[in-house]
């Protein structure tokens, strides 16, 4: 070891014990708070503790009169400890976030159940059914945010993105009163319609009446819809905000929406037809077996026509085929996802992009995709989730 470095090491050695002593004096606390100065706030359901920890802000936690969202309160037996200041800072930032409000709270003039996470702002203003139970909207919001963030991690991975790569947080709002939803459409989105709406701007948003066709006030339906809609909004907001609606990218946009929804629930139930959520259904939304059999029977090329279509104009079976083609790109050419998306945003067409990024003609893509489907799709579809709050589901989140 060089002499200079040795000298430095010797010089720093005695000082090392000093901070430890100092720390003990600063720490304070007492035995009853495990020397922290704070204890857990008892006003929050313990089964949601892990969920609270994974979000940035929750309006229900932030409105807690005891802790203001810090989730911890003063020990009460000692003046303070090392965690006291952090707890105060956390409550202060929760208050600032809560006071800043959001567009629907300003419009409707009442506090709402809303959660902000890394990629999302979620508002639920309706109790929803899960089987015979009615879910508390607060618990429901956390379950949905959990699904959404798991999905967002997959999208980030597919596109080499982080939460900062999107033009804004994706905002998703669901209402019990169709009048509230209509008001949001009118006053915030500027459209005088009562159907579910998506707003493709730098601050992407969607609003829907939770009792609408296909949602029917059911927790699982609303959660699946949220994931599907979020998939569309996130891709439009990714890297450069641009709506794919007038691009010949119907298969890509719809395929992605179905793919991310299916990735969480093993089934897809949301069909976007010219902005409206219809109660369409093709083969029960479980498509591996259906697509394998469909393709085995159709010999004529499908893709040359399919890849020319605009989003919102696909036939029911084309939703399935689009999902499968996206599925193939994810499995076989994941590095092409980002250039495909950005190419579509630039107005390029699929033939050109396939040639450029997959080094394949459209007919070669068709051949490779069909062969992959026949070789990999199972004889039985995976089991679809029956419940949103199902704890037994395979948890691939960590
Ligand atoms: Zn204490
Ligand atoms: Zn909460
Ligand atoms: Zn509390
Ligand atoms: Zn869609």
Rounded to the nearest whole angstrom, what is the distance from the C-alpha of residue 37 to the centroid of ligand 3?
16
Residue 155 pLDDT > 90: yes
Rounded to the nearest whole angstrom, what is the distance from the C-alpha of residue 269 to the centroid of ligand 4?
9
Beta strand 170-175 with 205-209: parallel, antiparallel or unpaired? parallel
Residue 20 pLDDT > 90: no
pLDDT for 16 equals 42
Residue 145 pLDDT > 70: yes
Nearest one of 56, 145, 48, 54 to 93, comparing CA atoms: 56
Read off the pLDDT of each residue in 49-55 and give the average, rounded to a whole number.
95
Residue 23 pLDDT > 60: no
Rounded to the nearest whole angstrom, what is the distance from the C-alpha of residue 91 to the centroid of ligand 3?
10
Nearest one of 262, 305, 293 to 373, comparing CA atoms: 293
The tens digit of pLDDT for each residue in 329-365 reads: 999 999 999 999 999 999 999 999 999 999 999 999 9
DSSP line for 30-44: -GGGTTSSEEE-TTS
Which bound ligand lies closest to the C-alpha atom of 66?
Answer: 3
Which bound ligand lies closest to the C-alpha atom of 74?
Answer: 1
Instruction: Report the chain's mean pLDDT, rounded to a whole number.
Output: 91
Ligand 3 is an ion; residues with CB less than 5 A from it: 41, 43, 64, 66-67
**Phi/psi class of residue 240: alpha, beta or left (left: φ > 0; alpha: ψ in -120 to 50)?**
beta
Rounded to the nearest whole angstrom, what is the distance from the C-alpha of residue 240 to the centroid of ligand 3?
39
Q: Which fold would CATH assign to domain 103-376?
A: Neutral Protease; domain 2 (1.10.390)
pLDDT for 391 equals 62
- Domain limits, the chain: 33-100, 103-376
Read off the pLDDT of each residue in 285-293 and give the average, rounded to a whole number.
96
Residue 117 pLDDT > 70: yes
Which bound ligand lies closest to the C-alpha atom of 82?
Answer: 1
pLDDT for 271 equals 87
Read off the pLDDT of each residue in 224-234 and give the average, rounded to a whole number.
97
Rounded to the nearest whole angstrom, what is the distance from the C-alpha of residue 231 to the centroid of ligand 4?
8
Rounded to the nearest whole angstrom, what is the distance from the C-alpha of residue 192 to the centroid of ligand 3?
40
Burial class (CB in 10 A: 0-12, 13-18, 19+), 140: buried
The tens digit of pLDDT for each residue in 290-318 reads: 999 999 999 999 999 999 999 888 888 99
Q: CA-CA distance, 234 to 245, in Å (whole number)?
A: 14
Which bound ligand lies closest to the C-alpha atom of 87?
Answer: 3
Rounded to the nearest whole angstrom, what is the distance from the C-alpha of residue 65 to the centroid of ligand 3?
7
Which bound ligand lies closest to the C-alpha atom of 49?
Answer: 2
pLDDT for 280 equals 77
Rounded to the nearest whole angstrom, what is the distance from the C-alpha of residue 113 to the centroid of ligand 2?
9
* Beta-ladder partners of 58: 115
Which bound ligand lies closest to the C-alpha atom of 257?
Answer: 4
Rounded to the nearest whole angstrom, what is the distance from the C-alpha of residue 52 to the centroid of ligand 1?
24
Rounded to the nearest whole angstrom, what is the distance from the C-alpha of residue 338 to the centroid of ligand 4?
19
Which bound ligand lies closest to the C-alpha atom of 117?
Answer: 2
pLDDT category at 26 given cuts 50, 70, 90 is: low
pLDDT category at 224 given cuts 50, 70, 90 is: very high
Each as own residue / partner, the long-range contacts of residues 293-296 (CB below 8 Å, 24 or more positions apart, any chain) are 294/320, 294/321, 295/370, 295/373, 295/374, 296/374
Residue 171 pLDDT > 50: yes
Q: CA-CA distance, 207 to 201, in Å (whole number)?
A: 14
pLDDT for 272 equals 81
| Angle in degrees, CA 163, 262, 353, rounded to 5 | 65
pLDDT for 18 equals 46
Rounded to the nearest whole angstrom, what is the distance from the C-alpha of residue 63 to the centroid of ligand 2?
10
Rounded to the nearest whole angstrom, what is the distance from the C-alpha of residue 230 to the centroid of ligand 4?
9
Ligand 2 is an ion; residues with CB less than 5 A from it: 58, 60-61
Residue % of the chain over a pLDDT of 90: 85
Read off the pLDDT of each residue in 131-149 and give the average, rounded to a whole number.
96
Higher pLDDT, 326 or 312: 326
Rounded to the nearest whole angstrom, what is the distance from the C-alpha of residue 379 to the centroid of ligand 2?
41
pLDDT for 275 equals 42
Ligand 1 is an ion; residues with CB less than 5 A from it: 29-30, 33, 75, 77-78
pLDDT for 3 equals 44
Read off the pLDDT of each residue in 202-210 and give the average, rounded to a whole number.
96
pLDDT for 7 equals 38
Reported as half-sphere exposure (CB side, CA atoms, 13 A), residue 24 has a value of 4
pLDDT for 281 equals 84
pLDDT for 124 equals 98
Which bound ligand lies closest to the C-alpha atom of 231?
Answer: 4
Nearest one of 103, 239, 65, 61 to 164, comparing CA atoms: 239
Rounded to the nearest whole angstrom, what is the distance from the C-alpha of residue 50 to the centroid of ligand 3?
14
Rounded to the nearest whole angstrom, what is the distance from the C-alpha of residue 205 to the centroid of ligand 4?
14
Secondary structure (3-state) at 246: coil
pLDDT for 27 equals 64
């Amino acid at each position: 070891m060089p002499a200079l470095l040795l000298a430095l090491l010797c010089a720093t050695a005695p000082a090392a014990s000093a901070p430890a002593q100092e720390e003990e004096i600063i720490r304070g606390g007492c035995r009853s708070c495990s020397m922290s100065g704070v204890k857990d706030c008892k006003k929050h359901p313990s089964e949601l503790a892990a969920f609270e920890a994974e979000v940035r802000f929750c309006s229900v936690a932030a409105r807690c009169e005891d802790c203001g969202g810090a989730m911890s309160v003063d020990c009460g037996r000692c003046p303070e400890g090392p965690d006291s200041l952090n707890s105060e800072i956390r409550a202060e930032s929760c208050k600032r976030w809560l006071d800043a409000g959001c567009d629907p709270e300003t419009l409707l003039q009442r506090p709402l159940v809303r959660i902000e996470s890394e990629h999302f702002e979620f508002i639920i203003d309706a109790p929803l059914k899960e089987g015979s139970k009615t879910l508390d909207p607060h618990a429901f919001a956390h379950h949905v945010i959990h699904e959404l963030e798991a999905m967002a991690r997959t999208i980030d991975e597919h596109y080499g993105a982080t939460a900062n790569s999107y033009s804004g947080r994706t905002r998703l709002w669901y209402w019990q009163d169709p009048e509230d939803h209509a008001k949001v459409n009118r006053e915030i989105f500027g459209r005088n319609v009562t159907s579910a709406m998506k707003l493709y701007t730098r601050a992407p948003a969607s609003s829907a009446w939770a009792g609408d066709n296909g949602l029917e006030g059911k927790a699982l339906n609303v959660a699946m819809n949220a994931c599907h809609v979020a998939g569309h909004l996130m891709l439009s907001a990714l890297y450069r905000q641009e709506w794919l609606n007038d691009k010949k990218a119907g298969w890509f946009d719809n395929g992605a929406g179905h793919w991310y929804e299916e990735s969480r629930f093993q089934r897809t139930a949301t069909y976007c037809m010219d902005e409206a959520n219809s109660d369409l259904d093709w083969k029960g939304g479980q498509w591996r077996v259906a697509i394998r059999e469909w393709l085995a029977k159709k010999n004529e090329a499908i893709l040359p026509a399919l890849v020319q279509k605009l989003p919102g104009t696909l036939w029911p079976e084309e939703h399935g085929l689009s999902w499968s083609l996206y599925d193939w790109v994810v499995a076989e050419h994941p590095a092409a996802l980002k250039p495909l998306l950005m190419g579509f945003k630039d107005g390029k067409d699929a033939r050109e992009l396939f040639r450029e990024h997959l080094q394949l003609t459209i007919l070669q893509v068709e051949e490779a995709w069909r062969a992959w489907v026949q070789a990999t799709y199972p004889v039985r579809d995976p089991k679809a989730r029956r419940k949103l709050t199902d704890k037994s589901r395979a948890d691939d989140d960590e």
